[in-house]
Structure 1
Amino acid sequence: MGEYSLFGKFTVKDGERDALVEILLEATQSMKNVEECTHYHVHVSDDDPNAVYVYEVWKNADAHQASLALESTQILIQRAKPIIAGIERISTLQPRGGKGL
């Protein structure tokens, strides 16, 4: 099984984007200790003040799924749930190469 990546969009309640960004940046710190996660990037858009995008690259899909059960991940999910209005998986991708991969 090859690398697995995910590009997702979180839509937050009005005025909550910065709060979700902070929570997701905490997740990036947690992911530094997870060897199977090679990239975890948090993005915002100038065009949508209620959107936060996350791009993740994992050694495989099973590693990503396992990360969702980590205690640190579960705590962050519980903190984020009240401010999230929607989640959209924009795409699941299979990396082929490029800078940083």
Structure 2
Amino acid sequence: MDRKRREFVLMAGAAIAGAAFAPVRASPAGAQTMYGLIGKMTAHAGKRDELVAILLEGVHDMPGCLSYIVAHDADDADAIWITEVWDGQDSHAASLKLPAVRAAIARAMPMIAGFDAGTTTHPVGGHGL
């Protein structure tokens, strides 16, 4: 799988599946490290709102997803930013196997013009976590 496709699957899979907010505030020594993703996705002209709607479906039902934010880019009318925090990388990987996630990815793909570089993070805490 090429890198751009892998990045999409990682970001969109979590995005589409949703979030169940758990009471995690920080990762104490010896605890499982939280897993984060931040990425920028560009929709085909005029398709951003439709793409965002797909990404926000079911955002309260994903086990292990602690935070999931989709934001419009302030300088690009077709771009969005996706910021995710998971209780661990395994939870994120499991979300990508769900039939609903796979179906949503298939619906979203034709609307996506491209991806900018994304990054993986290890969140340690903050407001909302």
TM-score greater than 0.5 by the shorter chain: yes
Query: Is the Cα–Cα contact under 8 Å of residues 6 and 89 in structure 1 kept in the other structure?
Result: no
Question: Which one of 70, 73, 87 corresponds to residue 59 of structure 1?
Answer: 87
Question: Which one of 50, 53, 56 corresponds to residue 25 of structure 1?
Answer: 56
Identical pairs, percent? 43
Q: Which has the higher contact order (CA 8 A, sep 6+)?
A: 1
**Post-superposition, which runs of at least 4 consecutive aligned residues in structure 1 deviate over 3 A?**
none
Larger Rg: 2
Which residue number in structure 2 is paired with residue 7 of structure 1?
Answer: 38
Question: Is 2:69 the partner of 1:38?
Answer: no
Q: TM-score normalised to the size of structure 1?
A: 0.89
Which residue number in structure 2 is paired with residue 84 of structure 1?
Answer: 112
Q: TM-score normalised to the size of structure 2?
A: 0.71
Give the Cα–Cα distance (whole angstroms) in 1 for the partners of residues 60 and 99 of structure 2. 15
Which residue number in structure 1 is paired with residue 78 of structure 2?
Answer: 50
- Give 2:40's aligned amino acid: K
| Alpha carbons of structure 1 residues 99 and 60: separation in structure 2 relative to 1, 3 Å | same
Give the Cα–Cα distance (whole angstroms) in 1 for the partners of residues 117 and 101 of structure 2. 18
Structure 2: gaps of 5 or more residues: 1-31
Question: What number of residue pairs does the alignment pair up?
Answer: 98
CA RMSD of aligned residues (A): 1.3
Structure 1: gaps of 5 or more residues: none
* Structure 1 position 56, deviation (Å): 0.8
Which residue number in structure 2 is paired with residue 97 of structure 1?
Answer: 125
